[in-house]
């Protein structure tokens, strides 16, 4: 089956003849392409910022944890306490048993579950090691020099953790500023229309393919967003709704049916519900397009002069009204 693109569905829905005349064109709308690339770049910047913030947040956690462990260890060098030694050895035994349990689960788990089990095993065995070091240190005679050195080193780790906190906060400010500029809804950006990096979404069942400008994960749903540059209409245009419906169908076939999609014109965002009626209308258009491809019979299907006035193919159109 020949695949029909979401972009062609948009052209056909505007005017069948416009789609037909565009078939031999090589992307004439360079201004639109340029604007899309600019938006794509900004969105990539936004994703990069999010990745950096996540990395810094992990560093804050690791450095704070290391600082706390070193601080307790330093403290243990100042005192000798059999009681604390016993408490820590009990904790070490508990974590060791837990590590053995995770090891047993790891051996029995399938490929999908083995990764989290492996992680839990590492956490449990590391905790057991740390607690046993505490236990030994608490029963040894005091060593003040070692204690001071460890407390100073703990402070240094804490300073690094604070520095990462500063970077994460600065990143958060940049991220929110970029997000405000792009006026995007909340959610994790997982897909950007980028020919090099984003995969093409395909529906084998319906013979449709396309790349939405953006795919945002909101909770369990994947929401496609189509960003339109240039003239801002008073409401969402039918041809754009059909294009977005094609993306919603592709999301349904590749992930799960989205409850809605978003059409963005400048600062305006319209929510288009994905329902049975809209899907049927889209599939009807796709059938008409396949029929036109077979027969080669394509004509204007409207009497609106305004459409022809704004049409980029009016110069070569034999049926234009204006
Ligand atoms: S000029 Fe009018 S009839 Fe011709 S392709 Fe454009 S919209 Fe259709």
Could you tell me whether strands 260-265 and 208-210 are parallel, antiparallel, or unpaired per DSSP bridges? Answer: unpaired
Q: Is 284 helix (H, G, I), strand (E, B) or coil?
A: helix
**183-186 contacts, C-beta under 8 A, 24 or more apart:** 183/264, 183/267, 183/269, 184/43, 184/46, 184/214, 184/216, 184/225, 185/216, 185/218, 185/223, 185/225, 185/262, 185/269, 186/218
Is 311 close to ligand 1, i.e. is its CB under 6 Å away?
yes
Model pLDDT, residue 195: 47
Q: 292 CB contacts (<8 Å, ≥6 apart)?
A: 16, 20, 298
- Interior angle at CA 220, CA 214 and CA 223, nearest 5: 25
Taking CA atoms only, the protein residue closest to ligand 1 atom 3 is 320
Taking CA atoms only, the protein residue closest to ligand 1 atom 4 is 320
Number of Cβ within a 10 Å radius of residue 53:
18
pLDDT, averaged in runs of 10, over the chain (322 residues): 89 94 68 67 81 91 92 89 91 93 81 74 90 90 91 94 94 85 73 60 92 85 87 90 96 93 88 95 95 92 91 90 86
- The CA 313 to ligand 1 mean position distance, Å, reads 7
Taking CA atoms only, the protein residue closest to ligand 1 atom 7 is 308
Q: Which helix (H) or strand (E) holds 254?
A: helix 238-254
Q: State pTM to two decimals.
A: 0.66
Taking CA atoms only, the protein residue closest to ligand 1 atom 5 is 18
Is 17 close to ligand 1, i.e. is its CB under 6 Å away?
yes
In the 8-state DSSP scheme, what is residue 315? G
- The CA 310 to ligand 1 mean position distance, Å, reads 9
Give CA separation, 296 vs 2, 12, 26, 312, in Å: 15, 14, 20, 21
- The CA 13 to ligand 1 mean position distance, Å, reads 12
Mutate to test the pocket of ligand 1, among 317, 318, 321, 322 (most ligand atoms within 8 A of CB): 317
CA 271 from centroid of its chain's CA atoms: 19
314, 322 contact by CB (below 8 A): yes
Is 11 close to ligand 1, i.e. is its CB under 6 Å away?
no
308, 17 contact by CB (below 8 A): no
Mutate to test the pocket of ligand 1, among 16, 314, 318 (most ligand atoms within 8 A of CB): 314
Instruction: Please report the atom of ligand 1 found closest to the CA of residue 20.
Output: 5
Tokens of 212: 């939405």
Domains and CATH numbers, the chain: 4-26+187-316 (3.90.320.10), 51-182 (no CATH)
- The CA 237 to ligand 1 mean position distance, Å, reads 16
Instruction: Please report the atom of ligand 1 found closest to the CA of residue 318.
Output: 4
What is the crossing angle of helices 111-139 and 82-108, to 10°? Answer: 170
- The CA 21 to ligand 1 mean position distance, Å, reads 9
Tokens of 49: 């910022």
- The CA 20 to ligand 1 mean position distance, Å, reads 10
Q: 223 CB contacts (<8 Å, ≥6 apart)?
A: 185, 187, 215, 216, 217, 251, 258, 259, 260, 261, 262
Model pLDDT, residue 28: 52
- The CA 22 to ligand 1 mean position distance, Å, reads 11
Taking CA atoms only, the protein residue closest to ligand 1 atom 2 is 308
- The CA 315 to ligand 1 mean position distance, Å, reads 9
């Amino acid at each position: 089956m020949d695949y029909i693109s979401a972009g062609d569905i948009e052209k056909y829905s505007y005017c069948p003849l416009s789609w037909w005349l565009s078939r031999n064109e090589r992307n004439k709308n360079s201004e639109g392409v340029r604007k899309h690339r600019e938006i794509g770049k900004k969105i990539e910047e936004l994703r990069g910022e999010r990745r950096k913030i996540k990395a810094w947040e992990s560093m804050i956690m690791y450095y704070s944890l290391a600082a706390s462990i070193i601080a307790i260890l330093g403290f243990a060098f100042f005192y000798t306490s059999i009681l604390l030694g016993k408490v820590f050895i009990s904790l070490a035994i508990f974590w060791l048993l837990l590590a053995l349990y995770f090891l047993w689960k790891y051996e029995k788990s399938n490929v999908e579950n083995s990764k989290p089990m492996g992680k839990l095993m590492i956490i449990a065995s590391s905790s057991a090691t740390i607690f046993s070091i505490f236990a030994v240190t608490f029963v040894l005679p005091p060593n003040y020099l070692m204690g001071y050195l460890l407390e100073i080193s703990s402070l240094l780790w804490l300073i690094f953790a604070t520095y990462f906190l500063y970077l994460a906060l600065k990143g958060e400010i940049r991220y929110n500023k970029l997000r405000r500029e792009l006026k995007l809804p909340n959610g994790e950006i997982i897909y950007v229309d980028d020919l090099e990096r984003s995969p093409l979404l395909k529906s084998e069942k319906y013979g449709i393919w396309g790349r939405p400008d953006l795919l945002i994960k909101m909770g369990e749903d994947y929401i496609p967003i189509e960003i339109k540059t240039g003239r801002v209409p008073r409401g969402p245009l039918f041809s754009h709704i059909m294009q977005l419906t094609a993306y919603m169908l592709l999301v349904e076939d590749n992930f799960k049916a989205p409850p809605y999609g978003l059409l963005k014109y400048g600062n305006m965002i319209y929510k288009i519900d994905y329902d049975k009626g809209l899907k049927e209308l889209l599939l009807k258009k796709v059938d008409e397009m396949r029929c036109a491809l077979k027969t080669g019979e394509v004509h204007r299907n409207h009497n609106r002069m305004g459409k022809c006035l704004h049409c980029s193919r009016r110069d070569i159109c034999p049926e234009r009204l204006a």
